[in-house]
Amino acid sequence: MKIGHQINFIVINKHANSLYSLIADGIYHATSLGRSTWKTLIGSQASLQRNCNKEGFNAAGSVQGWFKARIGILGNNENNCVTPDSKIGFGTRGYHASNTCGNEAWWSPDNGNKLINAMGYILVQ
């Protein structure tokens, strides 16, 4: 991701026929990078709620209209992933300002409320 003039990368090792095959069907495909790794995409300003931590491809809460990410991680203030209020990733959306790439966090996240827009780069091998 590019935020201002800073570019940060992470590597996701996921075997698939294509990136399209991972996201087109809308089915959740988990990754296990961890919240700290996802936060490095944003840098020191990154913020996530402490619970849920659902990460991967097509990560979403179980109630329609709440935050989701084509590629990313979700956080929640409750001890579940029903209605996540924070996200870092690519192809994100939800009920707030709905930035499509970057970090958005509300309701007691670990580094304060955030709305950080980013330019995303996805390189596929």
Each residue's pLDDT tens digit, 41-95: 999 999 999 999 999 999 999 988 889 999 999 999 999 999 999 999 998 887 7
Phi, psi of 45, deg, nearest 5: -85, -10
pLDDT averaged over every residue in the chain: 91
Phi-psi sector, 77: left (phi>0), alpha (psi -120 to 50), beta: alpha
Res. 97: pLDDT tops 70: no
Each residue's pLDDT tens digit, 17-33: 999 999 999 999 999 99
What pLDDT does residue 93 have? 81
Q: How far lies 71's CA from each of 14, 63, 68, 107, 124, in Å?
A: 12, 18, 9, 22, 13
What pLDDT does residue 76 have? 97
Choice between 89 and 96, residue whose per-residue pLDDT is larger: 89
- Check if the beta carbon of residue 59 is closer than 8 Å to that of residue 68: yes
Query: Domain coordinates of the chain in residue numbers?
Result: 2-10+30-117
Res. 98: pLDDT tops 80: no
pTM of the model: 0.92
What pLDDT does residue 96 have? 67
Between CA 56 and CA 35 the distance in angstroms is 11
